[in-house]
Amino acid sequence: MDWDKKYGEIAESLGLDKEKDLEATKILDGLIKNRNFASIEKKLRNKNVLVLGCGPSLVEDIRKLKSARVLDSFTVVAADGAAKALLENGIVPQINVTDLDGDEKAILKANARGTITAVHAHGDNILLLKKIVPLLKNPLGTTQTVETGKIKNFGGFTDGDRCVFLAVHFGAKLVVLAGMDFGEKIGDYSGTFDYDKKIKKLKIGKGLIEELVSENKTLILNVTSRGENIKHVPRISADGLRNLIF
């Protein structure tokens, strides 16, 4: 995918301030020390990866996956606020991909319990970067614009689709989506948002996953209980997933 072109199209459609995105990236670069993504690559390379979004199906999906006893076979990647739902169900995600607008306490709690936190910089979260990043242990940094010394761009726009881009970039064997409804209803763990803009962003995120899947060979499946179908991403039940991986 030509990410620079795609980012330009997204910025134009949403009226994003590219200069602010770059400013946020530079600020994040100054706040973190860690530039080595080897820890994330180790969790993703040739692994089964479970990506959990913040859609309305999230809690139901977590409970079905727990019941099917498959979670131990996956690297669990939370999209921002999904970390809170996972912690509430006794699960510590290995990775949290966040722009920090989810539950702040959950982001910090997961990080303190060993979750690798990949913090995303954009023009609207500069204050959150300055507030939360200094409290995190060994955070990593991502951006949707130009990379700097410590901040990398793996593609993706919303927290959920950036999880998928990250997993594909680092060579996951299998990527399974949960809590990724992409519908008109916003999930309870989505944090603060403007409804109309959120719906537009969800459509963009869904489209990005569909385009990514069409351009690579990574097997991506969707275990989300309800919500929109994602092109090129077959649905599977939690029990069907268990039969697939065992």
Alpha-carbon distance of 70 to 57, in angstroms, equals 18
Handedness of CA 195, 201, 207, 212 (dihedral sign): negative
Alpha-carbon distance of 14 to 66, in angstroms, equals 38
Q: What is the mean pLDDT of residues 24-31?
A: 98
Name the pLDDT band for 230 (thresholds 50, 70, 90). Answer: very high
Q: What is the mean pLDDT of residues 221-234?
A: 97
Name the pLDDT band for 34 (thresholds 50, 70, 90). Answer: confident
Query: Do 186 and 101 meet the contact criterion of CB atoms below 8 Å apart?
Result: no
Backbone angles phi, psi at 128, to 5 degrees: -65, -35
Q: What is the pLDDT of residues 87-133, one digit of tens each?
A: 999 999 999 999 999 999 999 999 999 999 999 999 999 999 999 99
Q: Cα 32 from chain centroid?
A: 19
User: Both ends of the chain: CA-CA distance in Å?
Assistant: 33
Q: What pLDDT does residue 193 have?
A: 81
> Is pLDDT of 54 > 90?
yes
> Is pLDDT of 191 > 90?
no
Name residue, tokens 């990005």: 208
* The two three-digit tokens of residue 203, written as one number: 């459509």
Q: What is the pLDDT of residues 151-181, one digit of tens each?
A: 999 999 999 999 999 999 999 999 999 999 9
CATH code of the region 3-245:
3.90.1480
> Is pLDDT of 192 > 80?
no
Alpha-carbon distance of 229 to 116, in angstroms, equals 30
Question: Could you give the dihedral angle defined by the CA atoms of residues 65, 99, 200 and 152, in that order, rounded to the nearest 10 degrees?
Answer: -100
Question: Residues 152-177, buried b or exposed e (16+ Cβ, 10 A)?
Answer: bbbbbbbbbbbbbbbbbbbebebbbb
Name the pLDDT band for 64 (thresholds 50, 70, 90). Answer: very high
Q: Cα 119 from chain centroid?
A: 10
> Is pLDDT of 39 > 80?
yes
Q: What pLDDT does residue 1 have?
A: 82
* The two three-digit tokens of residue 27, written as one number: 């600020």
Q: What is the mean pLDDT of residues 196-211?
A: 96
> Percentage of the chain surpassing pLDDT 90?
96
